[in-house]
Amino acid sequence: MEKTFAMVKPNAVQAGLVGRIIARYESARLSVVAIRFKKMTQADAEGFYAEHVGKPFFPELAKFMTSGPSVQLVLAGEDAIAKVRALNGATNPAKAEPGTIRYDWATSMTENAVHSSDGPESAAREISFWFKPEEIFEYAAQDQRAKSVL
């Protein structure tokens, strides 16, 4: 089972979308194996988005990401990295496909509702940035979808 990192950003938290966004991941047969709710500090933003520090958009990104709490998630499942990227949609909401999270709920390139790792190296780095190994739970997710309302 592949693991990836995803985040529900502050605008989506404040819009009351935490449950609906996580439900989309779970409906795609991904399991939440680690979860945290945290208001990022400036140091968090600079560490997590290290590759973007110094880019023109970074100050606005850091201001937004430290403006309120966000949800940090590790999701596990088959092709988790590609699945979550597809569910999230394009970084720029103007280019996001209908049915994606960003098509529905991103309001701008910065306030784009969600984040996810873009490949295996970034997934490993981002997961270990937010979570200790003992905070990530391995379990065999049972497919209960036939019994659920999702």
Interface positions with ligand CMP (CB under 6 A)? 52, 57, 61, 91, 109-110, 112, 115
Residue 92: phi and psi, rounded to 5, are: -85, 115
Token couple for 20: 């609906």
Contacts of 35 (CB under 8 A, 6+ apart): 71, 72, 73, 74
Q: Which is nearer to ligand CMP, 3 or 102 (CB)?
A: 102
**In this complex, which beta carbon is closest to ligand CMP, that of residue 12 or of residue 76?**
12
Contact 29, 86 (CB under 8 A): no
Judged by CB, which is closer to ligand CMP: 63, or 145? 63
- Of the pair 103, 141, the CB lying nearest ligand CMP is at 103
Q: How far is the CB of 52 from ligand CMP (least distance, A)?
A: 6
CB of 57 to ligand CMP, least distance (A): 3
CB 76 within 8 A of CB 2: yes
Is the separation of the CB atoms in 5 and 127 below 8 Å? yes
Note the residue count of the chain: 150
| Known catalytic membership, residue 52 | no
β-bridge partners, 116: 6
- Catalytic: which of 115, 116, 127, 130? 115
Longest distance between any two alpha carbons in the chain, whole Å = 49
Please identify every residue annotated as catalytic.
Answer: 115
